[in-house]
Amino acid sequence: MASITLAQLQKDIKGGTPAPLYLLHGEEVHFIDQATALLEAGLLSEAEKGFNFTTFYGRDADAGTIIDTALRAPMMAPRQVVVVREAQQLRDIEKLLPYAQKPVPSTVLVLAHKYKKLPANRKLYKAIAKTGAVLEAKRIKEHQVAEWVQQQVATTPYGVSPKAAQLLQAYLGADLSRVNGALEKLYLNLEEGQTIEPAHIERFIGISKDYNLF
């Protein structure tokens, strides 16, 4: 499958055709968190998660334990999901190579490798690109944030005015985790169908509508 986008990932999840192995890597942590959340929420029902969902943290895990878990058969479900958070801290990550070369079809193994890319010339990267899927989380430019805000809000029951999107861009910059956090707070305080305006941002986020956008 090689490289995919967030939209392609959503399509695979919705269609019930996930890859057996995902590498989510790059500098934009928000996109990695978003992709991980989609995989966690979309591949198993709440009842299935009890026996078929496992989370590891790279700092505390080792490749051998992760592989042993990934090799298990799912229980009363079509698949199991194994997520390795902070995979960049997994000291023996290269030892996942044999599994990456031949992943188990009934397991979806997710490597959330934050803040930096796994080098494309590494054997592990090449194996994942061949047998699974790679999503690169690239940072967006600060001048693109307002457009990103409008795209994000368009997927919700809310609206956002251009001035409000520009205010969030000017005040919070390209830190998408902070921008998304501000949007989530606004959703909680507004009624569905409402359009986010600068006055809402001033009231609920504390950013003045008089902030100098230029």
Q: Rounded to whole angstroms, how far apart are CA atoms 61 and 68?
A: 12
Instruction: Convert the pLDDT of each residue in 134-166 to its tens digit.
Output: 999 998 899 999 999 999 999 899 999 999 999
Question: What is the reported pTM?
Answer: 0.82
Strands 107-114, 80-85: pairing is parallel
Helix or strand (DSSP H, E) at 131:
helix 123-131
174 is written with which tokens?
Answer: 């390209």
Q: Rounded to whole angstroms, how far apart are CA atoms 181 and 118?
A: 27
Instruction: Convert the pLDDT of each residue in 177-212 to its tens digit.
Output: 999 999 999 999 999 999 999 999 999 998 765 654
The DSSP bridge partners found for residue 153 are: none
Q: Rounded to whole angstroms, how far apart are CA atoms 119 and 76?
A: 37
Confidence class for position 2, pLDDT limits 50, 70, 90: confident
> Residue 176 in contact with residue 31, Cβ under 8 Å?
yes
Confidence class for position 214, pLDDT limits 50, 70, 90: very low
180 is written with which tokens?
Answer: 């998304």
